Amino acid sequence: QWYLGFIMSCEIWTLAGLLMLLLALWEVGCSEPSPSPEPLDTGTALHRQKRSWVWNQFFVLEEYTGDDPLYVGKLHSDVDKGEGRVKYVLSGEGASSIFIIDENTGDIHATKRLDREEQAYYTLRAQALDRYTNRPVEPESEFIIKVQDINDNEPKFLDGPYTAGVPEMSPVGTSVVQVVATDADDPTYGNSARVVYSILEGQPYFSVESKTGIIRTALPSMDREARDQYLLVIQAKDMVGQMGGLSGTTSVTVTLTDVNDNPPRFTRKSYQFTVPESLPVASVVAKIKAADSDVGPNAEMDYRIIDGDGLGMFKVAPDKDTQEGVITLQKVLDFETKASYTLRIEAVNRNIDPRFVNLGTFSDTATVHITVEDVDEPPVFSSPVSKMVVSEAAKLGTIIGTVSAHDPDSSNSAIRYSIDRNTDLERFFNIDATTGVISTAKQLDREVNAVHNITIFAMESQDPLQVGKGIALITVMDINDNAPVFAIDYETFLCEDAKPGQVIQTISAVDPDEPPSGHRFFFALTPEAASNLNFTLRDNKDNTASVLTKRGGFRRREQSLYWLPILIGDSGTPSLSSTNTLSIRVCDCDPDGMAQSCSAEAYMLPAGLSTGALVAILACVLTLLVLVLLIVTMRRRKKEPLILDEERDVRENIVRYDDEGGGEEDTEAFDMVALRNLNVIRDHKARRDVTPEVPIFFSSRPPPYKTVPDNGIFREFIWDRLKDADVDPSAPPYDSLQTYAFEGSGSVAESLSSLESLSTDSDQNYDYLSDWGPRFKKLADLYGHSEGSNMFL
């Protein structure tokens, strides 16, 4: 039988202890429990179950600071007769580390300081064992040691410090913010966790509700403009605020937010500004500002002109950023007309708080005086554009019109006029500097320029920097100074089978003049042609005329081209006319009257040639062209070393071959031009690998030689040349014709060179070749050679 032993130590008698004791008194005494009379080993006694008693809770106060272990309570089994046979054993949470038990008496002590806020209870198991048999005399039982709270934690503002805002001028009691303090102590037991709030700083402006921590305004009409921030200190104290309670504090920064409780006020009742009369429209004249102690939208304001003599001249608008009233110019100022303006300007708050309307008007007015300053202004033309008209027949010096400008300043100085020559480059006009009279300086031509747009300068004679500009638009009036001509170049033809009276061409005319009533042209054959038997002309009276045949049987072979002079006149006064000659071809026509071939035509397609054939011919021509081009370019490329070779001194070649040359066709090896005159600058022509034209060799001229040279010498000479050419690395790769002339030894003529007969013209004269041709021909016949790559004649 377990007994709960709970002996309160007299030093720690507390209210809590007493409370617990009362509960415990149910079955527990403050003294030693009276021993049970039942024997220790009575198994039947185990049936008495009193485990559901509250005994299985012990209480121990936290934060015990005494030196001795704190007595918690006592375990006792009524089996224990005090003979020392029963041994008490403790196990579970904190057993032997925090809680120790006297195994003989069952007294439990706490060896360490306990903190409820750390661990509020410990679950332990108790055993009563027979000391000798080590057998349990009681079933093991679980019990709890509760740690008893004491007020060892102060309230804390976990969310502090706080900031909050409240509109200025709020009524008393307006809630600002709620502060909350938390206390770690046991809220279910005692007052250790019951806090009350109080305000330490911030009175008399604010108050705090002691239970809720709600901060409220405490003064009416707190003005942000006077003071906009308050620092409050709020205290929370546990033990319901009683003496001995613990406390914590936090700060609350309360900012008053703005409401529109202030109207705009101009700092001055009147403003004075001065502007030059030359100020451009839309310029800023002045800025005025009405002050408003409110901020943000509550300080936004509109400005307007409510009165004054400057209505329409000026405009006032608020500057979004600065809230200034910006006065801008709307119309051009003129000092000479009005030199000062007075405006009444009102500033009104844009966002009005109806609560404060009764405090006063939310607008203010000020007077603005604007003085216009005189500025020296350039002359002004009475009309910016002067339109004038002049005939294109006007004689030089004809007066066209007058422009006029004046100085707008009070000084009214004299004006000098001039023409901006950039607008009259050809100087068609003159202007009288003092009167402004414009006259012609040059013959005008409407057909070239019908309207002259010239700029006139008007300059103050005292101050040439003051220049005004005007425009004179001078329209040139037409006179009939152009004769009509054919509208186009007619290509008239006539079929051979044309009948008499057939219209072969309808002609019209053009005339650059522009008579106001339109053109009216007259057509006629010239008097000489009037009696023409071949053609006649009919004026259609609609500015066209028809050319008709007068006879038939025109034959190309007889006459292929006819000229018909036609006179065209206009209706101007005086009328102008011109003679235009119509050329008429006689053509062979198809049955439809389409010209097939006109004798004088350079090229006429043969009749009946189909398009297909045409394309084929074209393709052939094109292919040939491409081929030729290809060959030419290939030759060019291969020839390059040759050209270099040719660059060498020609005389060297002569010396090397030790002959007189004479193959003038071989312009590569023997440039005879160089021989003719060594001072002649050599023409750097590319070598012309061209076969001499056949006729050269068959000239009808009689050969200038009489005898056939010795064969042996020639053969030797030719073989030498052939060998040289065959091993010559710079020789052209393709077959080429090289010509040499060789007189052989013992020539009486010394030289057959035709040097003397040559003209010194740089142009090659091949005439002499015809002299030599037959001779070479003979040689070719004798020694014609085509072995290897070179052929020699």
Ligand X SMILES: *[C@@H]1O[C@H](CO)[C@@H](O)[C@H](O)[C@H]1NC(C)=O
Catalog residues that contact ligand X under the rule CB under 6 A.
423, 453, 455, 471, 473, 532-534, 558-559, 562
Contact 77, 137 (CB under 8 A): yes
What is the rounded CA–CA span in Å between residue 139 and residue 46?
8
Contact 546, 534 (CB under 8 A): no
Query: How near is the Cβ of 471 to ligand X at its closest, in Å?
Result: 5
Query: How near is the Cβ of 581 to ligand X at its closest, in Å?
Result: 12
Q: For 67, how many CA atoms within 13 A lie in the half-sphere containing its CB?
A: 0
* Closer Cβ to ligand X, 357 or 451, answer by number: 451
* Closer Cβ to ligand X, 351 or 534, answer by number: 534
* Residue nearest ligand X (C-beta atom): 453
* Closer Cβ to ligand X, 367 or 423, answer by number: 423
Q: Residue 167 contacts by C-beta under 8 Å, 6 or more apart in sequence?
A: 174, 256, 257, 258, 259
- Distance from chain centroid for Cα 1: 99
Strand ranges of the sheet holding 136-148, from the earlier edge strand across to the other edge: 57-61, 136-148, 121-130, 86-92
- Distance from chain centroid for Cα 292: 43
* Closer Cβ to ligand X, 449 or 789, answer by number: 449
Strand ranges of the sheet holding 325-329, from the earlier edge strand across to the other edge: 284-288, 325-329, 314-318
529, 538, 534: which is closest to 555 by C-alpha? 534
* Closer Cβ to ligand X, 313 or 584, answer by number: 584
- Distance from chain centroid for Cα 787: 77
What is the rounded CA–CA span in Å between residue 693 and residue 773?
10
Query: How near is the Cβ of 527 to ligand X at its closest, in Å?
Result: 13
* Closer Cβ to ligand X, 221 or 475, answer by number: 475
What is the rounded CA–CA span in Å between residue 636 and residue 627?
14
Query: How near is the Cβ of 555 to ligand X at its closest, in Å?
Result: 8
* Closer Cβ to ligand X, 35 or 565, answer by number: 565
What is the rounded CA–CA span in Å between residue 313 and residue 418?
35
Query: How near is the Cβ of 554 to ligand X at its closest, in Å?
Result: 7
Q: Residue 134 contacts by C-beta under 8 Å, 6 or more apart in sequence?
A: none
Query: How near is the Cβ of 532 to ligand X at its closest, in Å?
Result: 4
* Closer Cβ to ligand X, 255 or 418, answer by number: 418
* Closer Cβ to ligand X, 328 or 583, answer by number: 583
Query: How near is the Cβ of 280 to ligand X at its closest, in Å?
Result: 19
Query: How near is the Cβ of 450 to ligand X at its closest, in Å?
Result: 12
What is the rounded CA–CA span in Å between residue 7 and residue 544?
149
* Closer Cβ to ligand X, 532 or 578, answer by number: 532
582, 550, 551: which is closest to 566 by C-alpha? 582
Q: Which two tokens stand for residue 348?
A: 């009104």
Q: Which two tokens stand for residue 267?
A: 């700092």
Cα 351 to Cα 225, 260, 740: the distances in Å are 18, 7, 117
Query: How near is the Cβ of 547 to ligand X at its closest, in Å?
Result: 13
Query: How near is the Cβ of 488 to ligand X at its closest, in Å?
Result: 23
Q: Helix axis angle, 711-727 relative to 767-783, nearest 10°?
A: 90
Query: How near is the Cβ of 357 to ligand X at its closest, in Å?
Result: 57
What is the rounded CA–CA span in Å between residue 492 and residue 504?
7
What is the rounded CA–CA span in Å between residue 193 and residue 182?
8
Contact 485, 576 (CB under 8 A): no
Contact 621, 582 (CB under 8 A): no
What is the rounded CA–CA span in Å between residue 650 and residue 671?
7
Instruction: Indicate if the alpha-carbon torsion angle 534, 540, 543, 544 is positive or negative.
Output: negative
* Closer Cβ to ligand X, 7 or 388, answer by number: 388
Neighbours of 262 (CB within 10 A): 22
* Closer Cβ to ligand X, 535 or 717, answer by number: 535
Query: How near is the Cβ of 526 to ligand X at its closest, in Å?
Result: 11
* Closer Cβ to ligand X, 175 or 423, answer by number: 423
* Closer Cβ to ligand X, 182 or 423, answer by number: 423
Question: For 282, phi and psi rounded to 5 degrees?
Answer: 80, 0
Query: How near is the Cβ of 492 to ligand X at its closest, in Å?
Result: 14
Neighbours of 130 (CB within 10 A): 15
Query: How near is the Cβ of 535 to ligand X at its closest, in Å?
Result: 8
Q: Which two tokens stand for residue 719?
A: 């073989």
* Closer Cβ to ligand X, 301 or 537, answer by number: 537
Query: How near is the Cβ of 534 to ligand X at its closest, in Å?
Result: 4
Query: How near is the Cβ of 551 to ligand X at its closest, in Å?
Result: 8
Q: Which two tokens stand for residue 416?
A: 């000098």
What is the rounded CA–CA span in Å between residue 407 and residue 381?
9
* Closer Cβ to ligand X, 48 or 387, answer by number: 387
Burial of 656 (0-12, 13-18, 19+ CB in 10 A): exposed
Query: How near is the Cβ of 529 to ligand X at its closest, in Å?
Result: 6
Tokens 């010509």 correspond to 739
Tokens 């009416």 correspond to 220
* Closer Cβ to ligand X, 243 or 533, answer by number: 533
- Distance from chain centroid for Cα 508: 57
End-to-end CA distance of the chain: 159
* Closer Cβ to ligand X, 453 or 762, answer by number: 453
Query: How near is the Cβ of 777 to ligand X at its closest, in Å?
Result: 53
